[in-house]
Structure 1
Amino acid sequence: MTIDKEAAERLANSFGAEAARYDRTRPPYPEALVANLVAASPGPRVVEVGCGTGVLSRQLLAAGLEVLGVEHDERMAAFARGAGVDVEVGKFETWDPAGRAFDAVVAGQSWHWVDAEAGPRKAADVLRPGGVFVALWHVFGTPKAIADAYVAAYEKVAPRMQHRVGHDYDEAFEAYRAGCVRTGDALVATGAFGEPVHWRSDWEQVFTTAEYADLMRTMSPMALLAPEQATRLLDEVGAAIDAIGGRFTQRYSTLAVAVPRR
Structure 2
Amino acid sequence: MDRPSHTNRRRADAFGLVADDYHRFRPRYPRSLIVELVDREDVRVLDVGAGTGIASVQLRDAGAEVLAVEPDARMAHVAAANGIHVEQATFEDWEPDDRSFDLVVSAQSFHWVQPHAALEKVATLLRPGGRLALLSNRITPVSPARAKLDEAFADLLEQSERWPVDAVHNDDLATTFESHGYSIERRQVLEPQHYAGDAWIDMVFTHSNVLTLDTRAQDELRARLTRIVGAGGVDAENHATVVIATPSARAS
| TM-score, L = length of structure 1 | 0.85
Structure 1 equivalent of residue 161 of structure 2: 163
Q: Decide whether the 8 Å contact of 1:200 with 1:254 is kept in 2.
A: yes
CA distance in 1, matches of 2:4, 2:127: 36
2:110 alignment partner in structure 1: 111
For residues 1-262 of structure 1, the aligned pairs below 5 Å read 2=2, 8-39=8-39, 44-143=43-142, 145=144, 147-156=146-155, 158=156, 160=158, 163-165=161-163, 178-179=169-170, 182-191=172-181, 193=182, 195-242=183-230, 245-261=231-247, 262=249
Deviation at 1:188, TM superposition (A): 3.3
TM superposition shift of 1:144 = 6.1
The structure richer in helix per residue is 1
- Per-residue deviation, 1:43: 5.2
Distance 1:159 1:222 in 2: 8
Query: Could you say if the C-alpha distance between residues 67 and 7 of structure 1 is closer, same or farther in structure 2, counting changes exceeding 3 Å?
Result: closer
In the superposition, relative to structure 1, how do residues 74 and 59 fare at CA in structure 2: closer, same or farther (>3 Å)? same
Code of the aligned partner of 1:17: L
Distance 1:188 1:159 in 2: 34
Residue 116 of structure 1 deviates from its aligned partner by 1.7
Return the alpha-carbon distance in structure 2 between the equivalents of residues 6 and 38 of structure 1. 28
Q: CA RMSD in A?
A: 2.6
| In structure 2, distance between residues paired with 1:82 and 1:91 | 20
**1:177: how far off?**
6.2
> Given that residues 187 and 243 in structure 2 are in contact (C-alpha distance below 8 angstroms), is that contact kept between their aligned partners in structure 1?
yes
> In structure 2, how many angstroms separate the alpha carbons of the residues matched to 1:4 and 1:48?
22
* Cα offset, 1:77, TM superposition: 0.6
SS at match of 1:70: strand
Q: Which amino acid aligns with 2:163?
A: V
- Note closer, same or farther for the CA distance 1:213–1:177 as it changes in structure 2 (3 Å cut): closer
Q: Which runs of 5+ in 1 are unaligned?
A: 167-171
Q: Compute the displacement of 1:70 (Å).
A: 0.6
Q: What is the DSSP-based 3-state SS (H/G/I as helix, E as strand, rest coil) of the residue aligned with 2:206? A: coil
Q: Quick one: structure 1 residues 252 and 88, their matched pair in 2 at CA, closer, same or farther if it must change by over 3 Å?
A: same
Provide Cα deviations, 1:36-87, integer angstroms capped at 9, x if missing partner.
1112x79511100111101110011111100000101111011101110001
Letter of the 1:224 counterpart: T
Normalising by the residue count of structure 2, what TM-score does the alignment of the two structures yield? Answer: 0.88
Alpha carbons of structure 1 residues 178 and 18: separation in structure 2 relative to 1, 3 Å? closer
Question: Greater CA deviation, 99-108 or 182-191?
Answer: 182-191
Identity across matched positions, percent: 30
Q: Counterparts of 1:177 and 1:91 in 2: how far apart (Å)? A: 20
- Give the Cα–Cα distance (whole angstroms) in 2 for the partners of residues 5 and 110 of structure 1: 10
User: 1:209 is paired with a residue of what secondary structure?
Assistant: coil
